[in-house]
Amino acid sequence: MLLAVAVAGVSLSGPLSAAIAAPALAVAFWRNALAVAALAPAVALRRAPRAELARLARSRRSLLLSLAAGAALAAHFGLWLPSLHLTSVASSVALVTTTPVWTTLLLRLLGHRPPAQVWLGSVISFAGVLCLTGVDLSLSGRALAGDALALGGGVAGSVYVLLGAEVRRTASTTTYTFVCYAATSALLLPVCLLAGASLGGYAPETWLKLLALTAASQFLGHSLLNRVVRGLGPSITSLGMLLETPGALLIAAVWLGQLPPAAAYPGLALILAGLALVIRGERNQPPSRTPTMPPTP
């Protein structure tokens, strides 16, 4: 249920981001910075989060992994959002949702042997995304640059999910997301300044949309993904992100009255079938095979 709510939250990201009259990098910065501002009172005024934050600061490994997850999230947003202005939305979405494929490959490099059903489910789900978006990669230099950025965003997203799954073994969602989003904001701020992305002077309507994006996509989306990854594991969580595409189509149908074409339904069926295979494969494997990150030197 929480994964379904998280998918609904991230599905709002595309429509809301497209409607915000602000630079893409600025949108990436503000959605994280506003989330940190909202989490700060919960961390500062409650004894348990303060104590946990102090323990996290004393644990070099957990702190470094949390900061690394924030860097991966900054790379995910910083690469993917600008790609929407360089290549087609279909190509960008299809390439950034390669996250579960990279997650499975990284797990393999860490010594985890995903069952054949996980590999098959990942391939089937990604084929569903290609069918759903009708992706058509262009050969123009501008479009290829956008495709490369979106692909990099997908790789960064898989690193973010894996690092979050490791930190969440011992840290609560509130503490981890506070540190992670703070690191993301701190890294995106100089990027915005160097790129000349305006961070202010917006109309009140733009600020309201930024607040809505933070509430829906950052808290109900990413924060809940960080919560469920502890129980579902990185494979299922990352593959669940593929549902962002049909989720966005459903939101567009309800909100904008844009009904998806008939060709979208087979794609959705493939995504759901692939997700079911991954869930079944992950549940059937022994618990001892759950991967862990190597110790920090």
pLDDT tens, position by position, 64-113? 999 999 999 999 989 988 887 787 666 677 677 778 778 878 877 877 77
Longest dimension (CA), the chain: 56
Least Cα distance to 237 among 250, 224, 246 occurs for 224
Q: Which is more confidently placed, 241 or 36? A: 36
> In this structure, what token pair is assigned to residue 94?
């299809």
Least Cα distance to 103 among 234, 249, 274 occurs for 234
CA–CA gap between residue 121 and residue 209 (Å, rounded): 36
State which amino acid sits at residue 26: A
CA–CA gap between residue 220 and residue 216 (Å, rounded): 5
Alpha-carbon distance values, 6 to 3, 269, 297 (Å)? 5, 20, 34
124: Cβ contacts below 8 Å, ≥ 6 apart: 270, 273, 274, 277
The whole-number pLDDT of residue 107 equals 79
For residue range 177-187, what is the model confidence (pLDDT) as tens digits? 999 999 999 99
Q: Dihedrals φ, ψ of 195, to 5°?
A: -80, -5
The whole-number pLDDT of residue 173 equals 84
Least Cα distance to 99 among 218, 236, 231 occurs for 236
Q: Is the pLDDT of residue 294 over 60?
A: no
The whole-number pLDDT of residue 296 equals 41
Q: Is the pLDDT of residue 146 over 90?
A: no
Q: Is the pLDDT of residue 286 over 70?
A: no
The whole-number pLDDT of residue 96 equals 78
Portion of the chain with pLDDT greater than 70, in percent = 77
> In this structure, what token pair is assigned to residue 87?
């290549």
Mean pLDDT in the chain? Answer: 79
- Ranking 50-54, 93-97, 279-283 by mean pLDDT, the lowest is 279-283
Least Cα distance to 241 among 263, 217, 257 occurs for 217
Q: How many CB atoms lie within 10 A of CB 119?
A: 17
Angle at 138 between CA 135 and CA 144, to 5 degrees: 105
pTM given for the model:
0.78
Least Cα distance to 33 among 25, 18, 163 occurs for 25
Burial of 91 (0-12, 13-18, 19+ CB in 10 A): buried
